[in-house]
Chain A
Amino acid sequence: MRHIISLLMENEAGALSRVAGLFSARGYNIESLTVAPTEDATLSRMTIVTRGSEEVIEQIVKQLNKLIDVVKILDLSDGSHIERELMLVKVRAFGKEREEMKRMADIFRGRIIDVTEKTYTIEVTGPGTKLDAFIEAIDPVAILETVRTGASGIGRGERILKI
């Protein structure tokens, strides 16, 4: 099962490597990991997307909790939540393709943020599945470059991760 785990940790040097090291040392897989400071500069918030059986996920959460720098954890998948990821795609946009690419970007509510004679760079945001769908939808040979941030997540409504 795919899980999306959010955590708050002390914004200390090396905090990220403790989490990354834990995952590699114990053989847990990481689909994506994002991290940035929060409005409180002493805290970082991390979103980890991982896969595993219920037992493995339980261990992951327990092991993360054991890290001294980790302040609080929430397995977002335990309840309703919102997940967003940002992708930048540079595509070939030449001749007839220009119109087609513009149309696809519109369908996916993407925005063209950079234009040259031959290329567009399109920004798409949404759950990972939507970004996958966008990639599926355009001609693979037209894709010059993609970059994705990995998922960020937040609980819906009253589900708040804060200290």
Chain B
Amino acid sequence: MMNNSLEQVTGMELTGAEITVRCLMDEGVDLVFGYPGGAVLNIYDEIFKQKGFKHILVRHEQAAVHAADGYARSTGRVGVALVTSGPGLTNAVTGIATAYMDSIPLVVLSGQVPTGAIGMDAFQEVDAVGITRPCVKHNFLVKDIRDLAITIKKAFHIAATGRPGPVLVDIPKDITAQKTAYSYPESVVMRSYNAIVKGHSGQIKKAAQMLLEAKRPMIYSGGGVVLGNAAKQLTELVHLLGYPCTNTLMGLGAFPGDDKQFVGMLGMHGTYEANMAMQHCDVLLAVGARFDDRVIGSPDHFARESRRIIHIDIDPSSIAKRVKVDVPIVGDVAAVLDEMIKLVRAGREKRDTESVGNWWTQINEWRARDCLRYDRASDIIKPQYVVEKMYEVTGGNAWVTTDVGQHQMWAAQFYKFNKPRRWVTSGGLGTMGFGLPAAMGVQLAHPGETVACITGESSIQMCIQELSTCLQYRTPIKIVSLNNRYMGMVRQWQEFFYSNRYAESYMDSLPDFVKLAEAYGHVGMKIEKPADVEGALREAFALKDRLVFMDFLTDQSENVFPMVPSGAGISEMILAEDL
């Protein structure tokens, strides 16, 4: 990159603020999401003077990090956020933790009080490194100007490689004013961090053999396939084998949602067929997934049926954490799958097609229960219907972000993603307020594309202030709010497990979202009848250069099915017909 810069040749020195900005440019960053404050004023002054990247001014630091996160999830590149010390940093923590739980590569730069003031309870001082330690992949406090450039380089390197994650660089204000010679390192070598892992060939051979012998095979893939850019390989392998495939919430899009081998999402709100097949398969291939509690439910119940498990993951600590594994393969998912594809292609003839045929018959019987069925004749808008229609209207080509709750699950169940990275949701942390700022990040990274945020009337209020940012940067996001006047998911749990005692889950005193959207300079629409749903969606999505807030008044009593109660086994689902 800009290694032989003028400064280096002439021995000119740059300030820490200049260096910070130059590092971002030399790293090829095109967008920085941030919010200024005292500790980062020197950096902002340099941002003012440069043209290498665009700074997006959010309205709350949480949104800066979510937006950088949406950018990262949808592009595969490292997202960058910049916040000031103290409250700037604490506001960012929810965003950082959200990214951490879903292994999203971010570099968050935070201002800090001057080095001499650290520990003195200075104005807007917090221990940023201490506060974020449990929710970052790594963090740094820069105490010497000479370490600044290499630290930023390391931050990008660590964030993007291995199992990705957010990295925080905390920069004291005096460091941004001091001067030193600048050169951006082209690469870093860290003796304590080696992210490149090649899967063990012997294990891959064993796994391929096991897959080819399977009678009731199942392929279960997660967010790791998306993060590892291995959707192509996964799809090829599943097609070569002819076996059923399920995706986790984080993995949607890694295998085409409309493929006949796709049995839907699995887990707490997974399909009947996916969950039953997980429980009853004899060979399970897990790829870039981590058997978490929302996915396989109780591990003891899961272990009651015997099956052999092959587990591919880049992070060894994800393997054998909640379930015992027969063939662990630690390595880059794409490379491991490439190797596996070769072996499977050569040995395809050995598959037990008769047993697998019977297995498919069984799976199709499960499918026939049509577990996602809902009342299509209702004269109240069904939330599922809105998502289904949105899928039709957008031709399945939208980039979709969500908030957290019932709407998130309906979006996952009813919008079929055929490509990875188009589905952007907070899976691990389940952060309400994620949807709108994440959609900004996606839209800014993909101008001209259709970006929708499926949300609920409660979640959207958690970062509603970003409607202002959306106007400033003209991000024509389509907000599809499934307004049931409840924290629907909370209400559902209260209905099922707390005898209908709806403690504090009713959303009273809602704003007029149409007027609110208009007040922020956008288009608002209120849709109250099923017959108007499709027309409204068509009209809204046709407004290519406007943000449209669609307030759909949906059925207040609708529940998400199937549902695996927390702590139960994956096959112990509550189905719509059970109630």
- Chain A contact residues, CB within 8 Å of chain B: 9-10, 13-14, 17-18, 21, 25, 55, 58-59, 62-63, 65-66, 68-71, 163
Q: Which residues of A contact B320 (CB under 8 A)?
A: 55, 58
The answer to the question of B491 belonging to the interface, with a C-beta cut-off of 8 Å to chain A, is: no
A-B contacts, 5 of them at CB < 8 A, read A14-B133, A25-B134, A68-B190, A70-B192, A71-B192
Output the least CB separation between B578 and chain A (Å): 35
Number of A-B contacts (CB under 8 A): 35
Output the least CB separation between B449 and chain A (Å): 35
Judging by beta carbons under 8 Å apart, are B192 and A59 in contact? no
Please list the 3 inter-chain residue pairs (A to B) with the smallest Cβ-Cβ separation, ordered nearest first: A62-B317, A68-B138, A71-B192
The answer to the question of B81 belonging to the interface, with a C-beta cut-off of 8 Å to chain A, is: no
Output the least CB separation between B302 and chain A (Å): 15
Q: Which residues of B contact A70 (CB under 8 A)?
A: 192
Judging by beta carbons under 8 Å apart, are B321 and A59 in contact? yes
Within the assembled complex, what's the spacing in Å between the Cα atoms of A69 and B15?
Answer: 28
Judging by beta carbons under 8 Å apart, are A66 and B315 in contact? yes
Q: List residues of B (136-173) whose CB comes within 8 Å of A's CBs.
A: 137-138, 141, 143, 158
Judging by beta carbons under 8 Å apart, are A62 and B192 in contact? no
The answer to the question of B260 belonging to the interface, with a C-beta cut-off of 8 Å to chain A, is: no
Starting from the known contacts A21-B134, A68-B158, A71-B192, 13 additional A-B residue pairs (CB-CB under 8 Å) come to A9-B192, A14-B133, A21-B133, A59-B317, A62-B316, A62-B317, A63-B317, A65-B316, A65-B317, A66-B317, A68-B138, A71-B191, A163-B191
Within the assembled complex, what's the spacing in Å between the Cα atoms of A17 and B138?
Answer: 13
Which residue from chain B places its CB closest to the CB of A68 in the assembled complex?
Answer: B138
Which residue from chain A places its CB closest to the CB of B315 in the assembled complex?
Answer: A66
Q: Which residues of A contact B317 (CB under 8 A)?
A: 59, 62-63, 65-66
Q: Which residues of A contact B202 (CB under 8 A)?
A: none
Judging by beta carbons under 8 Å apart, are A17 and B133 in contact? yes
Kindly state the interface size class of chain B when it binds its partner.
10 to 19
Within the assembled complex, what's the spacing in Å between the Cα atoms of A69 and B193?
Answer: 8
Within the assembled complex, what's the spacing in Å between the Cα atoms of A163 and B317?
Answer: 23
Residue of B133, B143, B158 ringed by the most chain A CB atoms within 10 A? B133
Within the assembled complex, what's the spacing in Å between the Cα atoms of A58 and B320?
Answer: 9
The answer to the question of B129 belonging to the interface, with a C-beta cut-off of 8 Å to chain A, is: yes
Within the assembled complex, what's the spacing in Å between the Cα atoms of A66 and B161?
Answer: 13
Judging by beta carbons under 8 Å apart, are A18 and B133 in contact? yes
Output the least CB separation between B311 and chain A (Å): 13
Assuming the A-B contacts A25-B134, A63-B317, A66-B317, are A13 and B141 also in contact, with contact meaning beta carbons closer than 8 angstroms in the complex? Answer: yes
Within the assembled complex, what's the spacing in Å between the Cα atoms of A98 and B336?
Answer: 70
Within the assembled complex, what's the spacing in Å between the Cα atoms of A10 and B320?
Answer: 28
Within the assembled complex, what's the spacing in Å between the Cα atoms of A18 and B137?
Answer: 11
Within the assembled complex, what's the spacing in Å between the Cα atoms of A13 and B137?
Answer: 17
Judging by beta carbons under 8 Å apart, are B158 and A17 in contact? no
Q: Which residues of A contact B138 (CB under 8 A)?
A: 68
Output the least CB separation between A16 and chain B (Å): 12
Which residue from chain A places its CB closest to the CB of B129 in the assembled complex?
Answer: A14
Which residue from chain A places its CB closest to the CB of B136 in the assembled complex?
Answer: A68
Judging by beta carbons under 8 Å apart, are B192 and A10 in contact? yes
The answer to the question of B130 belonging to the interface, with a C-beta cut-off of 8 Å to chain A, is: yes
Output the least CB separation between B459 and chain A (Å): 27
Assuming the A-B contacts A66-B315, A68-B158, are A17 and B130 also in contact, with contact meaning beta carbons closer than 8 angstroms in the complex? Answer: yes
Output the least CB separation between B178 and chain A (Å): 19
Q: Which residues of B contact A55 (CB under 8 A)?
A: 320
Q: Which residues of A contact B193 (CB under 8 A)?
A: 68
Within the assembled complex, what's the spacing in Å between the Cα atoms of A12 and B190?
Answer: 13
Q: Which residues of B contact A17 (CB under 8 A)?
A: 130, 133
Within the assembled complex, what's the spacing in Å between the Cα atoms of A55 and B315?
Answer: 16
Q: Which residues of B contact A58 (CB under 8 A)?
A: 320
Assuming the A-B contacts A55-B320, A59-B317, are A68 and B137 also in contact, with contact meaning beta carbons closer than 8 angstroms in the complex? Answer: yes
Which residue from chain A places its CB closest to the CB of B319 in the assembled complex?
Answer: A62
Q: Which residues of B contact A18 (CB under 8 A)?
A: 133
Which residue from chain A places its CB closest to the CB of B154 in the assembled complex?
Answer: A68
Q: Which residues of A contact B133 (CB under 8 A)?
A: 14, 17-18, 21
Output the least CB separation between B160 and chain A (Å): 13
Which residue from chain B places its CB closest to the CB of A10 in the assembled complex?
Answer: B192
Within the assembled complex, what's the spacing in Å between the Cα atoms of A59 and B192?
Answer: 19
Q: Which residues of A contact B192 (CB under 8 A)?
A: 9-10, 68-71
Which residue from chain A places its CB closest to the CB of B139 in the assembled complex?
Answer: A14
Within the assembled complex, what's the spacing in Å between the Cα atoms of A58 and B321?
Answer: 9
Output the least CB separation between A61 and chain B (Å): 9
Which residue from chain A places its CB closest to the CB of B135 in the assembled complex?
Answer: A25
Within the assembled complex, what's the spacing in Å between the Cα atoms of A18 and B317?
Answer: 17
Within the assembled complex, what's the spacing in Å between the Cα atoms of A62 and B320?
Answer: 11
Which residue from chain A places its CB closest to the CB of B143 in the assembled complex?
Answer: A13
Residue of A17, A59, A62, A69 ringed by the most chain B CB atoms within 10 A? A62
Within the assembled complex, what's the spacing in Å between the Cα atoms of A97 and B192?
Answer: 53
Q: Mark B187-202, 1 if CB is under 8 A from A, else 0.
A: 0001111000000000
Within the assembled complex, what's the spacing in Å between the Cα atoms of A59 and B479?
Answer: 42
Within the assembled complex, what's the spacing in Å between the Cα atoms of A10 and B191?
Answer: 9
Q: Mark B373-395, 1 if CB is under 8 A from A, else 0.
A: 00000000000000000000000
Output the least CB separation between A42 and chain B (Å): 9
Within the assembled complex, what's the spacing in Å between the Cα atoms of A70 and B321?
Answer: 21
Within the assembled complex, what's the spacing in Å between the Cα atoms of A13 and B138?
Answer: 13
Q: Which residues of A contact B129 (CB under 8 A)?
A: 14
Within the assembled complex, what's the spacing in Å between the Cα atoms of A65 and B192?
Answer: 9
Within the assembled complex, what's the spacing in Å between the Cα atoms of A17 and B133?
Answer: 9
Within the assembled complex, what's the spacing in Å between the Cα atoms of A9 and B133?
Answer: 17
Q: Which residues of B contact A21 (CB under 8 A)?
A: 133-134
Q: Which residues of A contact B130 (CB under 8 A)?
A: 17
Q: Which residues of A contact B137 (CB under 8 A)?
A: 68
Within the assembled complex, what's the spacing in Å between the Cα atoms of A63 and B134?
Answer: 12
Which residue from chain B places its CB closest to the CB of A55 in the assembled complex?
Answer: B320
Output the least CB separation between A28 and chain B (Å): 13
Which residue from chain A places its CB closest to the CB of B193 in the assembled complex?
Answer: A68
Which residue from chain A places its CB closest to the CB of B158 in the assembled complex?
Answer: A68
Within the assembled complex, what's the spacing in Å between the Cα atoms of A10 and B134?
Answer: 19
Within the assembled complex, what's the spacing in Å between the Cα atoms of A71 and B190?
Answer: 9
Within the assembled complex, what's the spacing in Å between the Cα atoms of A21 and B316?
Answer: 20
Which residue from chain B places its CB closest to the CB of A163 in the assembled complex?
Answer: B191
Output the least CB separation between A11 and chain B (Å): 11
Output the least CB separation between A62 and chain B (Å): 4
Output the least CB separation between A37 and chain B (Å): 15
Q: Which residues of A contact B141 (CB under 8 A)?
A: 13-14
Within the assembled complex, what's the spacing in Å between the Cα atoms of A69 and B317?
Answer: 17
Output the least CB separation between B167 and chain A (Å): 9
Residue of A9, A59, A68 ringed by the most chain B CB atoms within 10 A? A68
Output the least CB separation between B468 and chain A (Å): 36
